[in-house]
Structure 1
Amino acid sequence: MTMPDPDGQLAEQLLRLTRRVHRIQKRHLQQRELGVTPAQSRLLRTLAHWGSPPRMADLAERLEVVPRAVTTLVDALEASGMVRRVPDPANRRVIRIELTDEGRSTLRELHAVRRSAAEEILAPLTGDQRETLGTLLDTLIDGAPAGRC
């Protein structure tokens, strides 16, 4: 007889929820016909939260992907006018990536997509349940043991 594995079950539930979130966000992206993949969306959001334009290596590190993957994403976003490569003023050999006005406009639309996807995902929960879920997720994201925040 096998013993129940509550932690394994929770891990499986989290993975299933993650896949569901990705599916719903992808569907919402396709409905808006923004022409942006989830990976490109993530790169745009990352750029928006950066103070000054980052180097491609910085983006790769932040996104936890290989530099070649960032190059592919930047190439596609640059072709669509959402980002541009700019030389670093202190070192002309270094290339930095910055958002364009088109990229900022797309980000506003992406924010609306994420909001509508979140509304769909969270619809079954009450306000109190959402608050509790947020607190629990913060604890998991931060990695702090419960009660030691």
Structure 2
Amino acid sequence: MTAPDPDGLLAEQLLRLTRRVHRIQKRHLEHRGLGITPAQSRLLRTLAHYGSPPRMTDLAERLEVVPRAVTTLVDGLEATGKVCRVPDPANRRVIRIELTDDGRAALRELQGARRSAAEEILAPLTDEQRAVLGVLLDTLVDGPDAGRGHRTVGP
């Protein structure tokens, strides 16, 4: 008989939680009828954080995907009027990706869907448990110093 593997169990729990989060977010997106996939949603959120319209290669780096994947996402979002390709004013050969008014409106809807999904997922936790979870997740995502100074836990 082999000894239990606590790290393996935690890894499996994290994977199951990730799949559950994706399922719930997808359901909330579908409920709002936006016709936007989770990957397109991620691209819109990333695009919104740029001060000026980025190049597709910038988006690919930020999203940690191959440039072809960004092209496919942009094609789909452009077809529905959420983004548009614009020439760079300094170099007309460079194409940048810009959010449209429809894209910004969709982003607001997406934020509502994400908030609803988060409320559903976190419903079983108390405020204190949520705060602890936030610190733990910061530490896992950003490294050992991430939880310091971001959130406070307890009295």
Asked if these proteins are the same fold (TM beyond 0.5), I'd say yes
Shift of residue 3, structure 1, vs aligned partner: 1.1
Flag the 1:5–1:146 CA change in 2: closer, same or farther, 3 A: farther
Match of 1:125, SS?
Answer: coil
CA RMSD of aligned residues (A): 1.5
Match of 2:59, SS?
Answer: helix
| TM-score, normalised via structure 2 length | 0.92
Is contact 2:55–2:95 with CA below 8 Å preserved after alignment? yes
Matching residue's letter, 1:128: E
2:41 equivalent in structure 1: 41
Shift of residue 55, structure 1, vs aligned partner: 0.3
1:66 equivalent in structure 2: 66
The runs of 4+ residues in structure 1 deviating greater than 4 Å are 145-149
1:137 equivalent in structure 2: 137
Shift of residue 148, structure 1, vs aligned partner: 7.8
Aligned equivalents of 2:37, 2:70: Cα separation in 1:
13
Q: After superposition, what is the alpha-carbon deviation per residue over 1:1-57, rounded to whole angstroms, capped at 9, x for unaligned?
A: 201111111011000000000000001111111010000000000000111110001
| TM-score, normalised via structure 1 length | 0.96
Q: After superposition, what is the alpha-carbon deviation per residue over 1:73-112, rounded to whole angstroms, capped at 9, x for unaligned?
A: 1011011001010001111000000100100000000000
1:10 equivalent in structure 2: 10
Residues 1-149 of structure 1 mapped to structure 2, 5 A cutoff: 1-144=1-144
2:152 equivalent in structure 1: none
Aligned equivalents of 1:26, 1:12: Cα separation in 2:
21
Flag the 1:122–1:93 CA change in 2: closer, same or farther, 3 A: same
Work out the number of aligned pairs and report it.
149
Moved more, 105-114 or 60-69: 60-69
Q: After superposition, what is the alpha-carbon deviation per residue over 1:120-142, rounded to whole angstroms, capped at 9, x for unaligned?
A: 00000000000000000000011
Q: Which runs of 5+ in 2 are unaligned?
A: 150-155
Aligned equivalents of 2:8, 2:43: Cα separation in 1:
31
Q: Equivalent pairs: percent with the same residue?
A: 82
